[in-house]
Amino acid sequence: MFLRNPITSLQGVGSKRRPLFERLLGVRVMDALMHLPCDLIHRRFVESVTQARAGEVVTVIGEVISHTPPAYPRKVYAVTCFDGRCFFDLVFFHGKASYLQTLLPLHTKRLISGKLERFQDRWKIPHPDHIEIPGERQLRGPEPVYPLTTGITNKCVTRVIQSALSRLPPLPEWLDEEKAQKWPRWNEAVQQVHAPQTQQDLDPQTPARLRLAYDELLAHQLSLNLTRRRQQVKAQGASLRSVDRRKAQILQSLPFSLTPGQESALADIARDMASPQQMLRLIQGDVGSGKTLVALLAMAQAVDAGFQAALLVPTDILARQHAAKLAPLCAASDMRLALLTGRDQGKKRAQILEALKDQQIDIIVGTHAIIQEDVHFAKLGLAVVDEQHRFGVNQRLALTGKGNNPDVLAMTATPIPRTLMLAHYGDMDVSFIRDKPAGRQPIETKVLPLSRLDEVVAGIERALKTGAKIYWVCPLIEESEAMDLAAAVERWAALSQKFPGKAGLVHGKLKADEKDAIMGQFINGPVDILIATTVIEVGVDVPTASIMIIEHAERFGLAQLHQLRGRIGRGNQASICLLLYSPALTAVGRKRLEIMRQTHDGFLIAEEDLKLRGSGELLGTKQSGLPRFRIADFTSHPDVYGELFAMANKDARRICQEDPTLSTPRGQALQLLLSLHGRADAAKYSRSG
């Protein structure tokens, strides 16, 4: 099919410049067609150059009167023309005589178009954009202007795209009826977007552009969902329906009841797990919303049904903390819990692996150590991934590969705007926990210059007398690791001197057991001030901590700040967060801190972060896997495309349900859509699935 041919099949893409064209346009004809104009030029047709103004882009017919080759090498080549009223010169730098003589033979008429200039009392058109034989082509309408790269002119790109447009094959319609009614057909849409007549035609909301953007998003969402469905088809069979004995025991032993958000997330999970299809569910809940407990209850359901469960977490500290918190609840409900991290080696590790294989362990909590190749489960029924954004898809797959398509529960506190969510997790079902456990005290956030450090220290002194536990966070980034570390150590030394025995320091360079020891002393020991680099960022839960001080807060991303602040306000005492900044604060930096001061809503913070940074690097985590869309560029138009994205997601799910093998006539058209957008794999899966 023509649209899937390499762009070299188009006029104007020679082998020499092929790499350039491929980089700019993509490798296939379809890709070139998705390169949309970003602007347009009007070429006014004039009878004579005297009717135009200098600087205007005009089209005029002139008779070639004379050629004036350069008098010496560095001069220009001029061709003088006459339009019936006035002479004007076409000017060429490095003009080749033979080429220009064929292009502009003496005493013939030529249609010439370009930017008109006035120089030394003469009209000139330097390097005209077009020189044609009159009547051959219309050069009167507006022309599209494309995004370019060095080495390729707008004229080249236009020619290539025109060559593709002149050969568009008729395509079957893949839109549903409602959308087919309101948007142009694919062919028309493509023609329209490449022939803008006015600035309005460049708007992302024209029906033609909307349609092409929707197509792109639908292809993406459909391929995600088909691939997922294929996995599910294989995963038939494991229904983790249970009597819920342990779940009930845990709920009874809790000193509090679940929040409505936890309840409803849990209901979603229970339903998914009981169904024979593989669960793939993401829980989005702000920091402190109580996701760990939800995970535990889900794991209890798996154990009740006779399976094992695994909880994968990103850091050692967090693994230890989770295991410690879950241990009493597991004991109360008759579940055997084990912890496995990179620190467990040799005999200890061998014992755990053995027990896991024999189903002597019901729940394993651990870091990457639990996805190593030699770790085997007897019967893994549920894989929970905490702080999901810290892991890649491959790690998730490494864990689920250890069971026979176990249910998957992913959890994240990093709220992402809806559009990005769909791009990442379009195949996942999502539950939100929007509330927090009752009785939480609000956190007061203050923004202060570092120069007021003395006041801060005095404040700490007062707080310590009332028994407060304090986090003191120093930035540490790879690029300036040594210096940052030195600064953290220095801060620790200064605070130790002021408060002997009360300050502890944790950072990534410490040995694991050293870290543990200090964390332990902070949780219930003499250490009241924990100086830390961002190792505490993820998930740590010390309910008695009520003060968070972040030094050089301007160096942190919004999400990191939000995560860090989420470490306090977990108990029942009022909490305070101090954001200390250095005076060299950029406008964006100031804006960030101001947002932190104003809101505690993680979702709002995520939206603001997206606005401040663009979608490329979001919330402290590089969203490397984010697909790039050529038309639906939602960083520039989040509202328009966000809505379209949600629509595509919904439609893709419906299609997967109604026609999972894409075999109806519309289904076949959709297969074509997938292959045009380079997602033929998904179409293939749908057939074999």
Contact residues for Mg ion, defined by CB under 5 A: 539
The nearer residue to Mg ion, 238 or 326, going by C-beta atoms, is 326
The nearer residue to ligand ADP, 353 or 410, going by C-beta atoms, is 410
Residue 70's binding partner, choosing from Mg ion, ligand ADP, none, with beta-carbon cut-off 5 to 8 A by kind?
none
Give long-range contacts, CB 8 A cutoff, 24+ apart: 259-265. Answer: 259/289, 259/290, 259/433, 259/435, 259/436, 259/437, 259/438, 260/435, 261/285, 261/289, 261/432, 261/433, 261/434, 261/435, 262/289, 262/290, 262/293, 262/294, 262/433, 264/431, 265/294, 265/431, 265/432, 265/433
**259 binds ligand ADP, rule: CB under 6 A:** yes
> CA Rg, the chain, in Å?
33
Interface stretch with ligand ADP, choices 7-15, 58-66, 96-104, 536-544 (CB under 6 A): 536-544
The nearer residue to Mg ion, 539 or 620, going by C-beta atoms, is 539
The nearer residue to ligand ADP, 543 or 660, going by C-beta atoms, is 543
| Contacting residue, 59, 206, 221, 262, with ligand ADP by CB under 6 A | 262
Shortest distance in whole angstroms from residue 334 CB to Mg ion: 24
Interface stretch with ligand ADP, choices 47-55, 210-218, 245-253, 535-543 (CB under 6 A): 535-543
| Contacting residue, 541, 551, 609, 651, with ligand ADP by CB under 6 A | 541
**299 binds ligand ADP, rule: CB under 6 A:** no
| Contacting residue, 277, 289, 388, 414, with ligand ADP by CB under 6 A | 289
The nearer residue to ligand ADP, 49 or 542, going by C-beta atoms, is 542
Q: What sign does the dihedral 116-118-119-124 (CA atoms) show?
A: positive
Shortest distance in whole angstroms from residue 230 CB to Mg ion: 31
CA distance 155 to 129: 7
Q: Give the tokens for residue 454.
A: 């003395």
Interface stretch with ligand ADP, choices 252-260, 421-429, 473-481, 582-590 (CB under 6 A): 252-260
CA distance 221 to 219: 6
**537 binds ligand ADP, rule: CB under 6 A:** no
Contact 171, 672 (CB under 8 A): yes
Q: Which of residues 393-422 bind ligand ADP (CB under 6 A)?
A: 413
Shortest distance in whole angstroms from residue 312 CB to ligand ADP: 14
Residue 258's binding partner, choosing from Mg ion, ligand ADP, none, with beta-carbon cut-off 5 to 8 A by kind?
ligand ADP
Contact 566, 605 (CB under 8 A): no
Q: What sign does the dihedral 258-259-263-265 (CA atoms) show?
A: negative
- Cross-strand bridge partners of residue 82: 63, 87
Amino acid at 127: H
**290 binds ligand ADP, rule: CB under 6 A:** yes
Q: Which of residues 436-465 bind ligand ADP (CB under 6 A)?
A: 437
**293 binds ligand ADP, rule: CB under 6 A:** yes
The nearer residue to ligand ADP, 287 or 383, going by C-beta atoms, is 287
| Contacting residue, 230, 281, 291, 390, with ligand ADP by CB under 6 A | 291
> Of all helices (H) and strands (E), which one includes residue 514?
helix 512-524
> Of all helices (H) and strands (E), which one includes residue 493?
helix 481-498
The nearer residue to ligand ADP, 215 or 386, going by C-beta atoms, is 386
Number of residues that bind ligand ADP (CB under 6 A): 18
- Strand 280-285 to strand 429-433: parallel, antiparallel, or no bridges (unpaired)? parallel
Neighbours of 418 (CB within 10 A): 19
CA distance 111 to 105: 13
- Strand 621-622 to strand 617-618: parallel, antiparallel, or no bridges (unpaired)? antiparallel
b/e per residue, 92-108, with b = 16+ CB within 10 A?
beebeeeebeebbeeee
Residue 543's binding partner, choosing from Mg ion, ligand ADP, none, with beta-carbon cut-off 5 to 8 A by kind?
ligand ADP
**389 binds ligand ADP, rule: CB under 6 A:** no
User: CA dihedral in degrees (181, 183, 186, 192; nearest 10)?
Assistant: 140
b/e per residue, 382-407, with b = 16+ CB within 10 A?
bbbbbbbbbbeeebbebbbebbebbb
**570 binds ligand ADP, rule: CB under 6 A:** yes
Shortest distance in whole angstroms from residue 32 CB to ligand ADP: 47
The nearer residue to ligand ADP, 92 or 522, going by C-beta atoms, is 522
**667 binds ligand ADP, rule: CB under 6 A:** no
Shortest distance in whole angstroms from residue 245 CB to ligand ADP: 21
Contact 551, 523 (CB under 8 A): no
For ligand ADP, the binding residues (CB under 6 A) are 256, 258-259, 262, 285, 287-293, 413, 437, 539, 541, 543, 570
